[in-house]
Chains A and B, each alone.
Chain A
């Protein structure tokens, strides 16, 4: 234990702390089939719930006949809105200040909406019974286009009739939800009117879906003897779910235990509250038996939270030599039948006002109008921080559109407009204070890494060859420099349903020098058990391998707002470091006592406190831990543990430079990613291997979104992409090779300088892929074409440009 033969470097290595590519400790059980997901939970007498869902996008529910379903042996109950109404649970509040039907109350507003909930002894009987529930519908006119919805006489939300004031201000029309304005409208319009050059374009970011491999589900178990409800579920925010369940059910919060077990991916889809949770809880309270509900893939794609669906009309002004002088954006946001967007309360369009991106744009204005349509509700941040992906896509397309207008190289246009290193902390025109950045260094490194000049020369030759009939393939170079805003957030401006967005960590050191830490977050695959142990290891000098991480059980973990929006490392990671520092402060006093010197006469050295000037006199953390519990130390309580609740002073602003090189077959629309380079600057890097894995996963999702993934509706409001046949989820075959790289610009306000990385690759990847497609056709006159860039839409670009003879 008192090994003096190891060098400090060896002792650092033994900790496997920050900077170590420690292997993920979670993977042992995941790769051996020992994960414990919601659907693995089995309880005595457990019942199963299944929904009857609307086949129509807009219809009146005339009647629901349960008789045939109830006649099947093994069917326990069939719940409808009528059954929930006496409990006040036929509607529930949404995260966005709206309300949403739990079960259809007189009408349905989207295909797949929950109409009745069947409870049966097993899931087979439940499925059979759901088929036999007879629902009489009267079809109503369907609105799937938000622009038409704002003009239509058809009232979607009759429950809001006459309400001219919504949760976020005045409503302009019966299908209008809110208007959110940021920046200086008059000043921006003045800049636009006087500018040398203004580029204008509609940028549509299509509707898609996070599609985690594990769908949403829960097991509700009401113990009628103790009066305690245990709710297992796929919750990205278990503590918030507990509070919300308490508020809407009237159960006391101490009688509710929420447990998020292993979660098979969330990506924002598992942030909100769904009808399945409410119905399962009610069913368990009524029957006194546990009730499990797990949605299938089609239900997940059709009814749980979608992402994006933003129509972003943009104008960007610049001088004739390319200095951007102003940015204007009006967004029409399609929220579906209910506003169940997952955003901090004061931000109905999330952090869309990060849409000035990485650029020093002195004047800007943003307005967002939210609109009801006959589509599924949601609008969650699919692997991004609250609408940051939409913002990044918008500005990175507008930069390309401006480059075309100016006839400039898009890399150079970015370079001359980047916020300079010496401008940080930088106050953006739309209200944010960027914490730190060094965009020029990252950009130059990226361009050099891919030999940008060489690529442009190759592309020019390819254009010549194409025109000469020597090839039918084009080459596109997709550039992106993105800036994120993550780590919500300061409680002073970020809350969800009034719950402040701090986070927490509690660390207990055991007498023999190992530890357990519990956090208010919940891993869905991010590797928290691996990385947070590394933070603690570096802070208090105990090996990461000796530290257990626990999350997701509200009876044991400290309160926190959960994992989404890349907030775990910026917020809970900071709490972890702060809790560890409290422990180290106490350890210092214990060490000084043991070494018989004053507290100030010992200094920290990797895994021990040593007497200043006498490094051979020291006490290791293991020794200190044992003494903390077993030795009477005057003036100190026994034990060694700490808890920290961390309210960050600011968001963090990770950034990156991504470059995609793509080959495109103009005859078939097929594409091939030849090269993808991803440079991320997430500040201090805790585990480089996990960062690389996050980047690979996020870029692959970005590839899917940009190149084919969508939730598409026909004019009747039918979902056309409700299975994985049509909803593009890439396999290893479609996934290109990635080159990852990094720079390190620590966050000045975060205790360890970390900024978060999980969502950067989705945010930066989408514009990189899309810009590659656009760039391939730029020499032939393309300015803007909407995603997803699947084969036929790429073919359509080529066809429209007369490339098929």
Chain B
């Protein structure tokens, strides 16, 4: 479990980090908390000549709670998400989900930016961000651009981010008062990826529904969301089951995963509805 050799960089600002990425092309990768990348490197499934550590970059830190929008720096840790009371008031769903990620030691170091940017279908935050209709801010050699979370994921580990871009911030619209939220996750044990997980927002005539680890990307379903907005729970579940495409693994076969996906979704809906206005 020893990674191949690499050069370690620790730039102090975003521009320098982008410069290093430009210089080394696909030989370089940024690292945030490292909880996805380092195990892959130790297994030698990921090998890169240059590792660009983002933790010294102040611009990537901080949680800002605005009137209509919450802004999260990419290097905000899961622990910071959990312990930020303003965030818990504005979007309680984030704390609820972050508490179900890994274990406290991992959450002290693991970041929201790394979680969403890596494109690992097992990560919880991508589905959550799609449910919340978040926008990811990317900085690259040509400046900044924004990509909606719902447009960001292309396949497992493939996203809309270019090799020379860094995901810097996440903007999330604050759900209005009266919107109930819930995150329901089945896992085999602490620290495991979801067997199935559901993020649900419902209230004020709107709804949004996304699921995790049931396809090679997170799954946000417009038709499932619309059905739920209309109060049609069965329709919502049916639409979501249409949208997911789980594969068999040690957690179980496809048939089982589809079944628990529906159970998780129904439970999340029930809990979100009980919290709605």
Contact = CB atoms under 8 A, between A and B. Distances in A.
* B partners with A: yes
Interface of A: 123-124, 127-128, 131, 296-298, 667-670, 708, 712, 720-721, 725-726, 728, 730-731, 733-734, 790-792, 795-796, 799, 804
Contacts of B193: 725
Contacts of A733: 103, 189-190
Given A298-B1, A792-B256, A731 B103 contact: yes
A791 B250 contact: no
Contacts of A131: 4, 44
Contacts of A128: 2, 4-5
Interface in B227-277: 250-253, 256, 259-260, 263-264
B256 A795 contact: yes
B259 A795 contact: yes
B191 interface: yes
B163 interface: no
A799 B250 CA distance: 18
B259 A804 contact: yes
A728 B263 contact: no
A733 B1 CA distance: 26
Contacts of B263: 667-668
B92 to A, nearest CB: 22
B199 to A, nearest CB: 18
A60 to B, nearest CB: 25
B195 interface: yes
A731 B191 contact: yes
A728 B189 contact: yes
Most B CB atoms within 10 A — which of A728, A791, A804? A791
A467 to B, nearest CB: 20
15 contacts: A667-B260, A667-B263, A668-B264, A708-B188, A725-B193, A726-B250, A728-B189, A731-B103, A733-B103, A791-B195, A791-B251, A791-B260, A792-B195, A792-B253, A792-B256
A730 B190 CA distance: 8
Contact of B186 (A668, A726, A731): A668
Interface string B1-34: 1101100000000000000000000000000000
B191 A712 contact: no
Contact of A791 (B1, B44, B103, B186): B186
B222 interface: no
Given A667-B260, A712-B250, A725-B192, 4 more contacts: A123-B2, A790-B188, A790-B252, A791-B256
A728 B191 contact: no
Contacts of B250: 712, 720-721, 726
Contacts of A670: 186
A721 B188 CA distance: 14
B106 to A, nearest CB: 12
Most A CB atoms within 10 A — which of B189, B251, B256? B189
Nearest to A730: B189
A734 B1 contact: no
Contacts of B260: 667-669, 791, 795
Q: How large is the interface on B (under 10, 10 to 19, 20 to 34, 35 or more residues)?
A: 20 to 34
Given A668-B260, A791-B195, A792-B256, A731 B1 contact: no
Given A123-B2, A131-B44, A734 B252 contact: no
A128 B44 CA distance: 10
B191 A792 contact: no
A799 B189 CA distance: 22
Contacts of B2: 123-124, 127-128
Most B CB atoms within 10 A — which of A296, A298, A730, A790? A790
A250 B166 CA distance: 61
B143 to A, nearest CB: 39
A162 B5 CA distance: 49
A787 to B, nearest CB: 15
B2 to A, nearest CB: 4
Contacts of A298: 1
Given A131-B4, A297-B1, A804-B259, A731 B190 contact: yes
Contacts of A792: 195, 251-253, 256
Contacts of A804: 259
Interface string B168-191: 000000000000000000101111
B4 A296 contact: no
B46 to A, nearest CB: 14
Contact of A731 (B189, B195, B251, B256): B189
Contacts of A296: 1
Most A CB atoms within 10 A — which of B103, B188, B191? B188
Contact of B190 (A734, A790, A795, A799): A734
A522 B146 CA distance: 62
B189 A708 contact: yes
Interface string B49-66: 000000000000000000
Contacts of B195: 791-792
A794 to B, nearest CB: 10
A733 B260 CA distance: 22
B262 to A, nearest CB: 9
A791 B259 contact: no
A792 B186 CA distance: 11
A556 to B, nearest CB: 35
